[in-house]
Structure formats: structure tokens, C-alpha cells
């Protein structure tokens, strides 16, 4: 509970909003309410819009002024440090992270090229007040990221995750058209003739001999 005469902190407001959204069971004894609420919460459908929506009052960094004066970061309690120095910066980043995850269709697919930690690192680095006049820096151009990746290189991202839907459809359609052409009886006969010619005439060696003769003539 917030002290008398003091506005509730950012963390207390988040907790209060979460508790207010939980389903209520007035006819169930209090000793069983917790377990039933958990099961009911799991069985409820996933509301994506509510999941990544963040109240507007939590977004501005100026909301860190929940305290009359900033607490000393070296002597304040962990709760005060989180409420004043961490959450006012982290919550807007998490909101942007979830919006970007939706654009990358992370809620629709099991695998995507989107890496949440990379996005959040890039966002926090560029939103640092010490860099407000600096140009935007991509994730792989951040100095400490480049140093880390020198000693811990990442495996390449599979091509299937890098292709857009349009590019992937072109690759699939091209493969299917080639497969259908190769299934044609005339094409099958031609390929079989080419294979027999390579085996009987030894085309590779004949080509080598031809070019050796040509080089000998030049000398």
C-alpha cells in the first residue's frame, strides 16, 4: 500500500492494473480461489492486442517522477531502483518490442528471423540520453556488440527465414515448374540419352583431350 499523501509508484500501478484484470469468483471459498483462477486464466483465449498494449501513462520517461526527489541509486532499495531507474526506460522498449514482433509475424509463426534481445538492445542503445544527438546505430554496428561477436560468432541465419513471402513463393514455384518439366516423357528420354552418352563416350575426357590438343597447337 502506498503511504498516506504519496502517489502510488509505477510498480504499484502496474500491479493494481494486473489484479483488476483477473477474473473474480465470488461464490468460491478464498482457500480455493487461487488455484481456480490459475486454471481459468490458462483456459482463456490469448488476447494479442491486450498483450502488447501498454497504458499511455506508462510510456513517457517523465513518469519516473513518482518520487518527490530521485533516490540515490547507490543507497536506495531494489524496489525503488527498479521503479525509478529501470521501469520508466524498459517499459517503452518492451512496448516497441511487442509492436515489432507483431510486424515480424512472431505471433503467427513458430520460427522467424526476429531476435527480441537484439531489437531491445538496439532500441535501448539509441534511446540512451547520452546519445540523443548521435545518429541511429544498427545492432551489428554497436561497438560492444561488434566486440562480442568477434569472440562469439553466430551461425548464419537459414535462408528460409531471410526470404520474404514473395521471394519464397518464387523459389517454390520455380522448383515446382522444373519438377513438372522433368516429369515429361520427352524430357525424361532426353536426359536418359544424355546420361548414356556421358557413360559411353566419356565426354569429360574427350573435352580434356580436345583442349590439350588446342593448347599444344598454340605452343
Quote the mean pLDDT of the chain: 76
Pick the more confident residue, 216 or 46: 216
Domain end call among 108, 137, 158: 158
Averaged over 207-215, what is the pLDDT? 84
| Angle, helix 185-201 to helix 165-182, in steps of 10 degrees | 70
Query: CA-to-CA distance for 125 and 129, rounded, in angstroms?
Result: 9
CB atoms under 10 Å from CB of 122, counted, come to 19
Domain end call among 143, 158, 173: 158
Evaluate if residue 122 carries a pLDDT over 90.
yes
Same domain, yes or no: 180 and 154:
no
Same domain, yes or no: 131 and 77:
yes
User: What pLDDT score does 11 carry?
Assistant: 64
Cα dihedral 135, 140, 144, 147 sign = negative
Query: CA-to-CA distance for 139 and 112, rounded, in angstroms?
Result: 17
User: What pLDDT score does 218 carry?
Assistant: 72
CA angle 128, 16, 53 (to 5 degrees): 50
Same domain, yes or no: 77 and 154:
yes
CB atoms under 10 Å from CB of 173, counted, come to 10
pLDDT tens string 133-144: 889 999 999 999
pLDDT tens string 80-113: 888 888 888 888 999 999 999 999 889 988 888 8
User: What pLDDT score does 145 carry?
Assistant: 92
Same domain, yes or no: 177 and 114:
no
Same domain, yes or no: 111 and 93:
yes
pLDDT tens string 29-85: 443 333 333 333 333 444 444 444 444 444 444 444 445 677 888 888 888 888 888
Same domain, yes or no: 106 and 129:
yes
Pick the more confident residue, 130 or 43: 130
Query: CA-to-CA distance for 136 and 30, rounded, in angstroms?
Result: 53
Task: Say how many domains are in the chain.
Answer: 2
Domain end call among 137, 158, 179: 158
Same domain, yes or no: 141 and 192:
no
| Of 21-25, 134-138, 191-195, the least confident | 21-25
Helices within the chain (DSSP H only): 10-21, 30-43, 48-52, 78-81, 87-103, 116-126, 143-151, 159-162, 165-182, 185-201, 203-218
Cβ-contact 144, 121 below 8 angstroms:
no
Same domain, yes or no: 204 and 128:
no
Is the residue at 83 inside a domain? yes
Is the residue at 30 inside a domain? no
Domain span including residue 79: 73-158
Evaluate if residue 9 carries a pLDDT over 90.
no
Evaluate if residue 215 carries a pLDDT over 70.
yes
Pick the more confident residue, 217 or 8: 217
Is the residue at 89 inside a domain? yes
Query: CA-to-CA distance for 181 and 135, rounded, in angstroms?
Result: 52
Is the residue at 115 inside a domain? yes
CA angle 129, 133, 138 (to 5 degrees): 85
Is the residue at 139 inside a domain? yes
Cβ-contact 37, 75 below 8 angstroms:
no
Is the residue at 56 inside a domain? no
Averaged over 172-184, what is the pLDDT? 91
Same domain, yes or no: 94 and 154:
yes
Cβ-contact 157, 123 below 8 angstroms:
no
Is the residue at 80 inside a domain? yes
Same domain, yes or no: 195 and 152:
no
DSSP assignment of 186-205:
HHHHHHHHHHHHHHHH-HHH
User: What pLDDT score does 19 carry?
Assistant: 67
Cell of residue 50, nine digits: 491486450
Pick the more confident residue, 138 or 11: 138
Is the residue at 198 inside a domain? yes
Cell of residue 6, nine digits: 504519496
Amino acid at each position: 500500500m502506498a503511504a498516506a499523501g504519496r502517489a502510488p509508484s509505477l510498480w504499484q500501478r502496474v500491479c493494481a492494473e494486473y489484479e483488476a484484470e483477473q477474473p473474480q469468483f465470488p461464490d468460491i471459498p478464498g482457500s480455493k480461489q487461487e488455484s481456480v483462477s490459475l486454471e481459468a486464466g490458462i483456459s482463456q483465449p490469448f488476447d494479442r492486442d491486450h498483450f502488447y498494449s501498454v497504458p499511455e501513462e506508462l510510456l513517457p520517461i517523465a513518469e519516473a517522477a513518482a518520487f518527490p526527489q530521485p533516490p540515490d541509486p547507490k543507497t536506495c532499495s531494489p524496489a525503488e531502483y527498479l521503479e525509478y531507474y529501470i521501469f520508466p526506460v524498459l517499459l517503452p522498449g518492451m512496448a516497441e518490442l511487442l509492436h515489432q514482433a507483431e510486424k515480424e509475424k512472431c505471433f503467427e509463426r513458430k520460427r522467424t528471423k526476429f531476435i527480441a534481445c537484439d531489437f531491445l538492445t538496439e532500441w535501448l542503445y539509441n534511446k540512451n540520453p547520452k546519445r540523443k544527438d548521435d545518429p541511429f546505430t544498427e545492432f551489428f554496428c554497436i561497438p560492444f556488440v561488434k566486440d562480442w561477436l568477434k569472440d562469439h560468432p553466430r551461425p548464419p541465419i537459414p535462408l528460409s527465414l531471410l526470404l520474404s513471402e514473395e521471394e519464397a513463393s518464387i523459389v517454390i514455384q520455380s522448383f515446382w515448374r522444373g519438377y513438372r518439366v522433368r516429369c515429361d516423357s520427352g524430357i525424361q528420354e532426353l536426359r536418359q540419352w544424355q546420361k548414356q552418352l556421358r557413360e559411353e563416350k566419356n565426354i569429360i575426357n574427350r573435352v580434356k583431350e580436345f583442349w590439350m590438343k588446342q593448347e599444344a597447337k598454340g605452343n
